[in-house]
Every structure is written in C-alpha cells, then in structure tokens.
Structure 1
Amino acid sequence: MSVQEEFDSWAESGKDRGMEQRHWHTAKHALARMPVEPGDRILDLGTGSGYALRALRETHDTGLSIGLDGSPEMVHNARAYTDDPLIGFLQGDFHHLPIASNSIDHVWSMEAFYYAQEPIAVLEELRRVLRSGGTFYCAVNYFEESTQTHEWQDRISIEMLRWDRSQYREAFEDAGLIVAEQDTIPDEEVDIPPAEEFPTEEWDSREAMVDRYRRWGTLLTVGVAP
C-alpha cells in the first residue's frame, strides 16, 4: 500500500480527526513558539485535517496559507473543516512542492516528515520555498530515542523514517538550514494510571508509558533559512 492509499483510508474512516486530537497535546506548545507575524504565509506539510493552519489563523492572523498532503481524501476533509478564504489545501508530493521559491515565511509539519522517501530532498525543497529568515518547525513522535514508539512500524504498511536527534540536526544542516532549536515536548495531558493498575491492554508497565509520554513526547527540530 502506498502512502496515499494508507492515508486515504484513514481519512475515509475519520482518523484524521482522531490524529488532530492526539497531536494537539504537544502541537499547541510547538505552534506557540513559532515567530509568526500577522500576514505571514504558512505551509503545513502533511496537513491532515488542517488543524494547525486553523489555529495559526485564529491566534496570529496569518496570511494566505497552504496545507499540503499526499492524500486526496485528507485534502477533501480539510477543505470541509473551514471556510476561511485565506486557507487553501493542495494534494501534492513533499519532494516536489508546487510552490514558488522564497514565498513562504514558515513551514509546519507534525507527524508527517518521517514518511518522506528522500528526506534530504524534502528539506532542500523546504529550503527553496522558505524566505530568508523563515523557519521549519518539524515535530515528530516517532524517533530513535523514543523506543516505545518503535512498534508503530509494525502497524503500518509503509516505510517510516526513524532518525535520532543528531540525524535530524545533521540532515537540516546538509540541506542548508540552520538548526536554531531542538527540544522534546512532553505530553502532559495523557493520563498515566498508578503502577498497581498495570499491565493494561496497551502497556506492560507504568515506566514504559512514562517514557513515551513524559520523557520523550514529541521531538521538535527548528531550522532557519539563512
């Protein structure tokens, strides 16, 4: 199954809204850090339901912005969730962005970058479309240090990129981006039961759940276009 087919099926079953709810726990903290000014143009790479663009419009009065996704069904759903004329959605390939060079102020991507088949090529494309001083906020839950997420690959039919923190930094730099920040954002909203209630249906131990949500949470890497 291709990436498009996988996420078309997710969108058709309503999983896009479920992802939005889960991602929001840490996404809202990362979005709040973005140096967005009124009128800035945003690209949301792997937009899903388009929640990030809707949030940035509400909190920062952003300008004409684009949510891009490889899944036509995700794009179809995202369009239905807003009637804001300054938010548009496109179906497209991360590796060949249908966007003019030096035209985007900030790029956001949550739980999408690790589906890139050629990640350096994607980073080079983002460097191309970003204006000087523009930023790329890349948030992922699936990464090498977060060992409790490694089993996700067994649940999905498409290949996922599993880099560690240093590999993200090096790749950003290789693509011409300056790494301004790298941090892990804990998920404080998932309730973790007391130790005596484990094992649960999903977790063998409380320690494993703490490691996933509190110790590692979401890895945020921020690149700046020189």
Structure 2
Amino acid sequence: MSVSDAFDEWARSGKDQGMERRHWHTAKHVLARMPVESEARSDSEQSSEERSDPRDEGDTVLDLGCGSGYAGRALRETKGAGRVYGIDAAPEMAHNASSYTDDPRVGFAIGDFEHLPFDDDSIDHCFSMEAFYYAQDPHAVLAELRRVLRPGGTFYCAVNRWEEHVHSHEWEELVGVPMLLWSEAQYREAFREAGFAVASQDRIPDTETEIPAESDFPTEDWETREAMVERYREYGTLLTVGVNTA
C-alpha cells in the first residue's frame, strides 16, 4: 500500500482527528518555538502601496505533510502567520483539512514533498510533524525545501521514529508502508549536506499521555511500565531545526 492510499483510508475513517490529538502533545511545543512573525501593522495603518507587498502580511509558513491541518490553524491563531499552506500526498487528508477552516489565508494542496508548487525563496518557515520519514527521497526533499525557503528561513522537522528510539522500529511493519529510519546524527548530516545550518536538535518529551500504574501491566501495547515511560517521557519527539544558509 502506498503512503497516500494508507492516509486516505485513515482520513475517511476519521483517524486524522486522532492523529491531531496525539501529535498535539509535542507539536504545540515545536510550534511555540517557531520564529513566525505576524504583520507589523493592521491594514488600516498601512498605505495602499505597503499593502501591495505580501511580506507586510506576515510570514508565510509551509506545513509539510499537513494531515488535518491543525498546525497551520494554530500558527494563524497564536502567531498571526501571514499565510499558511499545507501539503499532503493523501487527497482525503487535504480535503478534510480544507473543511476544518474557513480562513482565507490557510490553503491546502495535494502533492509530493520532492516537487513543491512554490517559487524559489517564497516560504519563510516550514513545519513538518510525523511526515518527513515517509519521503521516498529525503535528500531530494531537503534540497527542495532549501529552494523554496528564503535565506534565513527555517525548517522545523519533528519525528517520532528514528534510530535511537528503539520503541519506534516496528512502526513500519505496523503501518505497512516504507519509513525512513535515520539516526540523530544522520539527520544533522543530511541537513548540513543540503545547505542547512543545524540550529538545534533535541527531544521533546510527551508529558501528557497517561501512563497507568505498574499493577496494570502488561497492557495490550506494553509489556512493562518502564518501557512506556521511556517511550513517552525520554524519547518523545525528535526535533531537528535547520536554517537555510543560502
């Protein structure tokens, strides 16, 4: 099964909302870190000439693998992003995301990560949560992101599956589609090879997932409480932040 087919099924069954709830535990901390600038002044304070410059509307953000579109909506609501575009390979995901907002500055499109429908130097920041590891050619994705990001633009890449995270290794078999399994060092190396400076890399723990008492183990998903604590409190989400040095 292809990635788009798998996620189309999830979208049709309402799993996009469940993904949003689970991802939000750590995604909200990633979004809070992003240096997204809102419009400096309201439209009434600007001249017609100033309003004709799209940069005055605030930063443009790309949500790579947008799913339900929650990240774009959050960046508009909390940071006043000027415009947000969400890209997803699954048509049903993009369709659902569009139905969850009527904000004219938030748009969604169907597409693959290696061929983004944007001009060079047209995006200020990119966010991606639980999507980068589905790329067929991750190096091509990074090259494409560097093309569309403006000089100094940032890529906030958040993943829950990587080499050091031992509890994530079986996910490829469970999901049924090919998934990238890079180490933390490989993420840093690939970013640098693509022309990004690695501004930071760290793990964001999930402190909200409820962990049952020791007496409740083993559960359907976990043999020991220690393993579940390690999964959520120690590993959580790996965030690698790259800055376009062009």
Is the partner of 1:138 in helix, strand or coil? strand
CA contact (8 A) 1:46 1:112 kept: yes
CA distance in 2, matches of 1:177, 1:99: 19
Quote the offset at 1:194 in angstroms.
Answer: 2.3
Unaligned 5+ residue runs, structure 2? 39-57
1:57 aligns with 2:83: no
Quote the offset at 1:157 in angstroms.
Answer: 1.9
Is the partner of 2:170 in helix, strand or coil? helix
The amino acid of 2:135's aligned partner reads A
More displaced 10-residue stretch of structure 1: 57-66 or 44-53: 57-66
Q: Percent identity?
A: 65
Partner of 1:20 in structure 2?
A: 20
CA distance in 2, matches of 1:203, 1:156: 18
TM-score, normalising length from structure 2? 0.91
Aligned equivalent of 1:207, options 223, 226, 230: 226
TM-score, normalising length from structure 1? 0.99
1:162-201 to 2 correspondences below 5 Å: 162-201=181-220
CA distance in 2, matches of 1:137, 1:129: 14
1:71-82 to 2 correspondences below 5 Å: 71-82=90-101
Aligned equivalent of 1:119, options 131, 138, 142: 138
1:88-127 to 2 correspondences below 5 Å: 88-127=107-146
Partner of 1:160 in structure 2?
A: 179
| Two-structure CA RMSD over aligned residues (Å) | 0.7
Quote the offset at 1:196 in angstroms.
Answer: 2.3
Runs of 4+ in 1 over 3 A off after TM superposition: none
Partner of 1:129 in structure 2?
A: 148
Is the partner of 2:169 in helix, strand or coil? helix
CA distance in 1, matches of 2:87, 2:212: 38
Unaligned 5+ residue runs, structure 1? none
Is the partner of 1:180 in helix, strand or coil? strand
CA distance in 2, matches of 1:79, 1:121: 27
The amino acid of 1:35's aligned partner reads P
Partner of 2:51 in structure 1?
A: none
CA distance in 1, matches of 2:145, 2:31: 18
The amino acid of 2:5's aligned partner reads E
CA distance in 1, matches of 2:8, 2:212: 34
The amino acid of 2:97's aligned partner reads A
Q: Deviations over 1:41-78 (max 9, x none)?
A: 00000000000000000011111220000011001000
CA distance in 2, matches of 1:64, 1:149: 34
